[in-house]
Amino acid sequence: MRRLEGKNALITGGSTGIGRATAIRFAEEGASVAINYRSSAREAEITLDGVRDAHKSGPGKGMLVQGDVASEEDVRRIFAEVLTAWGRLDILVNNAGIQAANPSHDVTMDDYDRVLGVNLRGAFLCSREALRHFLDRGGGGVILNNSSVHERIPKPQYASYAASKAGLAALSRTLALEYAGEGIRINMVAPGAIATPINQEWTDNPDREAEVAGHIPMGRTGEPHEIAAVFAFLASDDASYITGQTIYVDGGLTLYPNFRTPWS
């Protein structure tokens, strides 16, 4: 399917994991893709190669844009670089995200602020720049946010992460309502447990992965391309009447798995 033909997309945190898979899927669907990365230029180049491979049969373009989404100055520059190169942006995917684990009573405020800074402030900074551009040029646009099942499920020892994703959900719904009349759609994908570098703790350990999979009704962890497919749907006109929603892509993790077996 080439549902994104002629569209220009910016994906934050596109050098690895779900961001990489989404960049390549968008390119397969015909979009030109700007790949933001913060520090891993080598990994970002691998994503760009994937995007260029996917474009072999079409006119789509790819570019890299370095920058920290938590920095207002960097975000302005990221958008300026993309708009200078391409003149127009149609789709923003706020994908960049980090997490930090610690018992909450031991968390340093630096760690707490860092997680909120990337996951929530970063998504707002990028959304604000995208909204300014969409309003300026008219004709609407799409903003997609990478949330998490932890926008709903509590995650002990990851309070900053859970708070950032719940905040992102409230932010998305608020912006969706605020700009629905301008033809701007804003939605979220909430992944469950997906095999990416953020989950190295279990991706590198088969016993731990089996433990994680044991909590998932479908009996397995997810792959980045399974998230990318949903981002592609939400970015496309197939989702033209959807805004302010979260789609959970989690193998049933949010279905209260402990209730699988009836008990009285």
- Identity of the residue, 2 or 170, whose beta carbon is nearer to ligand NAD in the bound complex: 170
Distance between CA atoms of 189 and 144, rounded to whole angstroms? Answer: 7
Contact present, 130 and 143 (Cβ < 8 Å): yes
φ, ψ for residue 235, nearest 5 deg: -75, -20
Footprint (CB under 6 A) of ligand NAD, residues 97-116: 97-98
Footprint (CB under 6 A) of ligand NAD, residues 195-224: 196-199
C-beta of 199: minimal distance to ligand NAD in Å? 5
- Is residue 248 annotated as part of the catalytic site, yes or no? no
Among 8, 32, 127, 148, binds ligand NAD (CB under 6 A): 148
Coil, strand or helix: which one is 94?
strand
What is the size of the binding site for ligand NAD (CB under 6 A)?
A: 28
Footprint (CB under 6 A) of ligand NAD, residues 164-193: 191, 193
| Catalytic residue selected from 37, 112, 158, 161 | 161
Of 68, 79, 26, nearest in space to 50 by CA: 26
254 lines the binding site for ligand NAD (CB under 6 A)? no
Footprint (CB under 6 A) of ligand NAD, residues 114-143: 118, 122
C-beta of 43: minimal distance to ligand NAD in Å? 7
Among 65, 96, 115, 176, binds ligand NAD (CB under 6 A): 96
16 lines the binding site for ligand NAD (CB under 6 A)? yes
- Identity of the residue, 54 or 115, whose beta carbon is nearer to ligand NAD in the bound complex: 115
162 lines the binding site for ligand NAD (CB under 6 A)? no
Contact present, 76 and 125 (Cβ < 8 Å): no
- Identity of the residue, 19 or 137, whose beta carbon is nearer to ligand NAD in the bound complex: 19
Distance between CA atoms of 161 and 108, rounded to whole angstroms? Answer: 14
Coil, strand or helix: which one is 14?
coil
Of 251, 258, 189, nearest in space to 221 by CA: 251
Distance between CA atoms of 108 and 106, rounded to whole angstroms? Answer: 6
- Identity of the residue, 5 or 226, whose beta carbon is nearer to ligand NAD in the bound complex: 226
C-beta of 119: minimal distance to ligand NAD in Å? 6
- Which part of the chain contacts ligand NAD (CB under 6 A), choosing from 7-15, 81-89, 124-132, 177-185? 7-15
The set of residues, in sequence order, having a beta carbon less than 8 Å from that of 255 and lying 6+ positions away, is 217
Q: Which residues of 77-95 are buried (b: 16+ CB within 10 A; e: fewer)?
A: ebbebbbeeeeebbbbbbb
Strand-pairing partners, residue 94, are 145
Angle value at C-alpha 179, between 174 and 181, nearest 5 degrees:
130
Binding site for ligand NAD (CB under 6 A): 12-13, 15-19, 36, 38, 40, 68-70, 95-98, 118, 122, 146, 148, 191, 193-194, 196-199
